[in-house]
Amino acid sequence: MIRELHEKLIKGEITSVELTEKYFDAVEKKDKDLNAYLTLTKDLAMEQAKKVDEKIKNGEKIELLEGIPGAIKDVLCTKGIRTTAGSKILDSYIAPFDATAIKKLKENGAVILGKTNLDEFAMGSSTENSAYGPTKNPHDLERVPGGTSGGSAAAIAADMAAWALGSDTGGSCRQPASLCGVVGMKPTYGRVSRYGLIAAASSFDQVGTLTHSVEDAAIVLSAISGQDRHDATSAHSSDKKFEDYLDGKIKGVKIGVVKEYLEGLKEDVRKVMEAVVEKYKKLGAEIVYIDMPYNKYALPAYYIIQPSEVSSNLARFDGVKYGLRADDEKDNQAENEFGLPKTLLETYLDTRCYGLGAEAKRRIMLGTYALSAGYYEAFYVRAQKVRTLIKKDFERVFQEVDVILTPTTTAPAFKIGEKADDPLQMYLEDIFTVTANITGVPAISVPAGTVEREGKKLPIGFQLMGKWFDEEGLFRAAHAYEISQ
Amino acid sequence: MLLRNDEVKHIAELARIGLDEKEIEKFSTDLSSILDFVEQLKEVDIDKAEAMAHITGLENITREDKNRDFENVSGIKKLFPEEKGGYDKVKSVL
């Protein structure tokens, strides 16, 4: 889609200002029902669009992403603009700086339409954990869009943005992409700087994309990737233009498939996934059945390591330096039971009691428990050792295959409220996506087809995982399937 | 694995989260069921495995040991919940 819009811009068929207005009109019309956007940045968008139109008018060359409007998950800091992370605790937080990914998008001339809804601090699988109400799935308003980048996924599915940024800690770009029928991509850990991405779990978090096509994902990733002095875990920059590798070649590419993954699915979902495998065979790829015995431990390992990192990262939201500061009624009395003034500790307790939602509290406490004296070895260290074993499994398999194919999710979108009271059921949504975060490999979800639930056709995606820093190989394989459809 | 109410209370205090009685009850159930789920890691033979330190193996990322001014100090000061004379005002620690 981005390339087509780019062609229209340079041919003068439409201006960037007109295109931007068109998207704001779509938001106006559709977002009352969907709640995908938390904040619109009209002034910023128009200013950016005008600059690009001026360049085109002067006959200057523009880049692919220049003048193309997109949306940003509200967990990425945008200078001078409210950035909430979906939490009450950051309700009035105006980011004083741009995340590196945002800075790069601005330098590339991309137009930013607004900030999209998410599960609080990017924890959840449905966007129901947002303090600003759930986002609805554009394919069925009674269903969730997935999460945590549910706002960005819904914005793409309802054509309220040409591209969108998300973040992916355990599947937060890919799972909503599967449920909304769009493309969701998580790069290799370190490919994109995490500076200005409000941290959930630092060893898993990556900035990712939600887009209409595989090529769009490649174009946006090319713009935001690269080493950054503000993030010591960002990897050496390759300056690759990933979109230049999409040559449709798939012949001889070895695709690993775990048989048990497909066999465990409901019949209609299984048929959709088998059709994808058949398609790849037809296109000339070689299907290799692989065995990954440690994969089943990825989810339990994740739910120890991730909350542990969360408990540390979210300690900064304490009402001291920025964000909500709450003092409840009894604190307003001048003295406590010992006749002394109320102390900082009470500010901490009240601020975090009122400011954080249930899931954030749950994970902070889980992490605090797993890291506490006497439990650290049994939980955290054991999980990090299991993580090593899972990575070794991937290293072994990637000697034999180029990419690994799995379903993205076990089922299409579920109903709003269906899993809200059962955290464990919600966690199981990540079962296929979380291994890519555990191992750091790049992964992408591509629409595979639809299945019917209660008379409605709902989309579902398949996932490809690639080798570390082989985004071009991953995109090429995903793109070859996409153009065959 | 059961997490008792008093344990939940203790963890919440360590994590600096204020909870009411109803929440304590709910989190005791939730956390217990999640701990049951992660229990399966005990099946794994980890004797020969090293704990993961960094997933892509990056090491020795260094920079010059020199401070740099932040671009937008006033933007940070505007975020203070309570400002007094250019400083962030907080309650006493003790």
Q: Measured between CA atoms, how close is B89 to chain A, in angstroms?
A: 8
- State mean pLDDT over A316-327: 93
Per-residue pLDDT tens over the stretch A218-263: 999 999 999 999 999 999 877 889 999 999 999 999 999 999 899 9
Per-residue pLDDT tens over the stretch A427-482: 999 999 999 999 999 999 999 999 999 999 999 999 999 999 999 999 999 999 99
pLDDT at A331: 55
Q: Are A96 and B72 a contacting pair at CB < 8 A?
A: yes
Interatomic CA distance for residues A311 and B2, integer angstroms:
21
Q: What percent of chain A has pLDDT over 90?
A: 91
Contacts of B22 in chain A (CB under 8 A): none
Q: Measured between CA atoms, how close is A466 to chain B, in angstroms?
A: 14
Task: Report the 10 Å Cβ neighbour count for A53.
Answer: 19
Helix/strand/coil (H/E/C) assignment for every residue in chain A: CHHHHHHHHHHCCCCHHHHHHHHHHHHHHHHHHHCCEEEECHHHHHHHHHHHHHHHHCCCCCCCCCCCEEEEECCECCCCCECCCCCHHHCCCECCCCCHHHHHHHHCCCEEEEEECCCHHHCCCCCCCCCCCCCCECCECCECCCCCCHHHHHHHHCCCCCEEEEEECCCCCHHHHHHHCCEEEECCCCCECCCCECCCCCCCCEEEEEECCHHHHHHHHHHHECCECCECCCCCCCCCCHHHHCCCCCCCCEEEECHHHHHCCCHHHHHHHHHHHHHHHHCCCEEEECCCCCHHHHHHHHHHHHHHHHHHHHHHCCCCCCCCCCCCHHHHCCECCCCCECCHHHHHHHHHHHHCCHHHHHHHHHHHHHHCCCCCHHHHHHHHHHHHHHHHHHHHHHHHCCEEEEECCCCCCCECCCCCCCHHHHHHHHCCCHHHHHHCCCEEEEEEEEEEECCEEEEEEEEEECCCCCHHHHHHHHHHHHHHC
Domain carrying residue B22:
5-43
pLDDT at A332: 55
- State mean pLDDT over A377-386: 95
Query: Is B6 strand, coil or helix?
Result: helix
Indicate the residue of B11, B63, B72 with minimum beta-carbon distance to A369: B11
Interatomic CA distance for residues A82 and A57, integer angstroms:
33
Structure letter (DSSP) for residue B51: P
Indicate the residue of B8, B15, B38 with minimum beta-carbon distance to A304: B38
Mean pLDDT computed over every residue of chain B: 91
Q: Are A184 and A176 in contact (CB under 8 A)?
A: yes
Give exposure, A65-93, as e/b (b: 16+ Cβ within 10 Å). bbbbbbbbbbbbbbbebbbbbbbbbbeeb
What is the interface pTM, i.e. ipTM, of the complex? Answer: 0.95
pLDDT at A53: 98
Distance linking the first and last C-alpha atoms of chain A: 16
Contacts of B21 in chain A (CB under 8 A): none
Chain B residue with CA closest to A366: the answer is: B31
Chain B residue with CA closest to A236: the answer is: B58
Contacts of A388 in chain B (CB under 8 A): 49-52
Contacts of A96 in chain B (CB under 8 A): 70, 72, 75-76, 78-79
Question: Given the structure tokens 């005002």, which residue do they identify?
Answer: B89
Domain carrying residue A224:
2-251+407-484
pLDDT digit string (tens) for chain B, length 94 residues: 789 999 999 999 999 999 988 999 999 999 999 999 999 999 999 999 999 888 888 887 888 899 989 999 999 999 999 999 999 998 888 7
Indicate the residue of B11, B35, B79 with minimum beta-carbon distance to A322: B79
Q: Are B46 and A427 a contacting pair at CB < 8 A?
A: no
Q: Does B6 touch chain A (CB under 8 A)?
A: no
* CA dihedral over B54, B56, B57, B61, signed as positive or negative: negative
Mean pLDDT computed over every residue of chain A: 95
Residue A282 is assigned to a structural domain of this protein: no
Q: Are A139 and A173 in contact (CB under 8 A)?
A: no
Q: Are B17 and A349 a contacting pair at CB < 8 A?
A: yes
pLDDT at A329: 60
Q: How confident is the model at residue A328 (pLDDT cuts 50, 70, 90)?
A: low
Q: Are A469 and B56 a contacting pair at CB < 8 A?
A: yes
pLDDT at A420: 87
Write out the two tokens for B28: 């005791």
* CA dihedral over A383, A385, A391, A396, signed as positive or negative: negative
pLDDT at B29: 93
Contacts of B76 in chain A (CB under 8 A): 96, 322
Indicate the residue of A96, A361, A424 with minimum beta-carbon distance to B76: A96
Question: Given the structure tokens 């090491």, which residue do they identify?
Answer: B59
* CA dihedral over B18, B22, B25, B31, signed as positive or negative: negative
pLDDT at B61: 81
> Which positions ≥6 away from A112 have C-beta within 8 Å?
A41, A44, A45, A48, A69, A70, A71, A72, A78, A102, A105, A106
Contacts of A372 in chain B (CB under 8 A): 11, 14
Count of domains observed in chain A? 1
Write out the two tokens for B25: 């009850």
Residue B91 is assigned to a structural domain of this protein: no
Using CB atoms and an 8 Å cut-off, which of residues 34-63 of chain B contact chain A? 34-35, 37-42, 44, 46, 49-52, 54-56, 58, 61, 63
CB pairs under 8 A between A and B: 172
Residue B75 is inside which H or E element, if any? helix B73-77
Q: Does B5 touch chain A (CB under 8 A)?
A: no
Residue A150 is assigned to a structural domain of this protein: yes
pLDDT at A236: 84
Distance linking the first and last C-alpha atoms of chain B: 37
Per-residue pLDDT tens over the stretch A134-187: 999 999 999 999 999 999 999 999 999 999 999 999 999 999 999 999 999 999
Q: Does B22 touch chain A (CB under 8 A)?
A: no
Indicate the residue of B50, B52, B72 with minimum beta-carbon distance to A97: B72
Q: Are A385 and B94 a contacting pair at CB < 8 A?
A: no
Count of domains observed in chain B? 1
Residue B66 is assigned to a structural domain of this protein: no
Task: Report the 10 Å Cβ neighbour count for A249.
Answer: 14
Q: How far is CA A176 from CA A205, A455, B4, in A?
A: 16, 21, 35
Q: What is the CATH number of the domain that holds B31?
A: 1.10.20
Per-residue pLDDT tens over the stretch A106-115: 999 999 999 9
pLDDT at A341: 64
Contacts of B50 in chain A (CB under 8 A): 385, 388
Phi then psi dihedrals of residue A322, to 5 deg? -160, 170
Indicate the residue of B15, B40, B52 with minimum beta-carbon distance to A365: B15
Q: Are A94 and B12 a contacting pair at CB < 8 A?
A: no
Residue A334 has pLDDT above 80, yes or no: no
Q: Does B72 touch chain A (CB under 8 A)?
A: yes
Q: What is the CATH number of the domain that holds A464?
A: 3.90.1300.10
Contacts of B79 in chain A (CB under 8 A): 93-94, 96, 321-323
Residue B51 is assigned to a structural domain of this protein: no
Which residues on neighbouring strands pair with residue A443, listed in sequence order?
A: A186, A465
Contacts of A364 in chain B (CB under 8 A): 15, 17
